[in-house]
């Protein structure tokens, strides 16, 4: 049996054995654990288990790294964010009953081409939505109330990806990676696979390490370091708007002085 056949057999067994609400809630919990909590923990442990390797691959200077206490604080807040994001669909399922699910739990696993189309659609939809939401969060009249919290870590660690105000966590972290595929009516396996990828990508983006990341983690790391640059995730929207260069928003006069130096 090929891989698709094995996946179909396993999915068919799950669908015929468990109630829709149970499958959906288990899926939400597993995506959080597999996509974020395990990778983010491994990134943090690299520092302790392989200190030489860690120093060699850290993007920013070792002297700028957060203290152990700051990292622990970040882990606590981020884990709390993950708990309430799981608790929300949990409550919804509690009220509607386990016989209902909000996601598409079609017993037939879609062909690989559907997974690829969903992945590309999800990636582009996330890039566009995250870019504009993130730029709006940087607006001076909003920034201090919401997004300032996420920028506490100038030298980020993986858990800092979800270290955010609750409003930002929903608007910028949860909705851009779930809502587009959900509205498209994508199969729940496609949504869960995409969310696992995006959560790992967010952890890698904030890991502070220069390996295992496409596009490179340097893009978002630079956003934390320099603030007004690289608002998107894959670089596309920043390239279109010219916000991929530090100093894009400075007056031309200042730029000329810099060139003359
Ligand atoms: Zn920002
Ligand atoms: Zn960030």
pLDDT score of 247: 81
- Ligand 1 centroid–CA 256 distance in Å is 27
> Could you read off the pLDDT of 106-134 as tens digits, one per residue?
999 999 999 999 999 999 999 999 999 99
- Ligand 2 centroid–CA 258 distance in Å is 28
Which of 86-100, 167-181, 233-247 comes out lowest in average pLDDT? Answer: 86-100
- Ligand 2 centroid–CA 128 distance in Å is 16
More confident: 97 or 41: 41
Q: Where are the alpha helices (DSSP H) in 18-103?
A: 20-32, 38-49, 51-57, 68-96
> Could you read off the pLDDT of 185-204 as tens digits, one per residue?
999 999 999 999 999 999 98
- Ligand 2 centroid–CA 153 distance in Å is 8
Is the pLDDT assigned to residue 258 strictly greater than 70?
A: no
Which of 65-69, 192-196, 198-202, 233-237 comes out lowest in average pLDDT? Answer: 65-69
pLDDT score of 157: 87
Is the pLDDT assigned to residue 249 strictly greater than 60?
A: yes
Q: Are 190 and 181 in contact (CB under 8 A)?
A: yes
Is the N-terminal amide bond of 215 cis, ω within 30° of 0? yes
Secondary structure of residue 187 in the 3-state scheme: strand
- Ligand 2 centroid–CA 31 distance in Å is 20
pLDDT score of 214: 61
pLDDT score of 215: 61
Which neighbouring-strand residues pair with 58? 209
- Ligand 1 centroid–CA 228 distance in Å is 8
Q: Are 134 and 143 in contact (CB under 8 A)?
A: no
- Ligand 2 centroid–CA 241 distance in Å is 19
DSSP state letter for 106:
-
Ligand that comes closest to the CA of residue 230: 1
pLDDT score of 156: 82
Ligand that comes closest to the CA of residue 206: 2
pLDDT score of 18: 96
pLDDT score of 162: 92
Ligand that comes closest to the CA of residue 164: 2
- Over range 218-243, report the average pLDDT: 90
Q: Rounded distance, CA 54 to CA 47, Å?
A: 5
Q: Rounded distance, CA 120 to CA 159, Å?
A: 26
How far from the centroid of its chain's Cα atoms is residue 253's Cα?
37
What are the extents of the domains in the chain? 3-241
Ligand that comes closest to the CA of residue 221: 2
Is the pLDDT assigned to residue 42 strictly greater than 70?
A: yes
Secondary structure of residue 58 in the 3-state scheme: strand
Ligand that comes closest to the CA of residue 78: 2
Ligand that comes closest to the CA of residue 138: 1
More confident: 63 or 102: 102
- Ligand 2 centroid–CA 220 distance in Å is 6
- Ligand 2 centroid–CA 113 distance in Å is 32
Which neighbouring-strand residues pair with 104? 187
For residue 253, name the pLDDT band (cuts at 50, 70, 90).
low
DSSP state letter for 171:
I
């Amino acid at each position: 049996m090929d891989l698709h056949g094995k996946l179909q057999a396993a999915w068919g067994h799950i669908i015929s054995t468990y109630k829709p609400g149970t499958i959906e809630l288990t899926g939400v919990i597993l995506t959080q654990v597999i996509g974020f909590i395990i990778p983010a923990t491994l990134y943090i442990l690299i520092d302790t288990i392989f200190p030489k390797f860690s120093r060699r691959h850290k993007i920013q200077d070792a002297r700028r790294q957060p203290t152990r206490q700051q990292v622990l604080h970040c882990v606590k807040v981020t884990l709390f964010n993950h708990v309430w994001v799981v608790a929300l669909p949990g409550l919804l399922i509690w009220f509607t009953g386990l016989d209902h699910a909000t996601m598409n739990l079609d017993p037939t696993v879609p062909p690989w081409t559907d997974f690829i189309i969903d992945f590309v659609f999800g990636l582009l939809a996330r890039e566009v939505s995250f870019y504009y939401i993130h730029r709006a969060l940087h607006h001076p009249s909003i920034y201090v109330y919401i997004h300032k919290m996420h920028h506490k870590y100038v030298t980020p660690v993986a858990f800092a990806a979800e270290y955010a105000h609750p409003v930002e966590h929903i608007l910028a972290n949860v909705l851009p990676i779930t809502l587009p595929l959900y509205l498209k009516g994508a199969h729940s396996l496609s949504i869960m696979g995409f969310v696992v990828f995006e959560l790992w990508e967010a952890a890698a983006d904030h890991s502070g390490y220069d390996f295992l990341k496409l596009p490179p983690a340097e893009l978002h790391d630079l956003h934390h370091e320099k603030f007004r640059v690289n608002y998107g995730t894959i670089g596309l929207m920043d390239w279109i708007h010219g916000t991929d260069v530090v100093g894009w928003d400075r007056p031309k006069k200042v730029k000329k002085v810099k060139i003359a130096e």
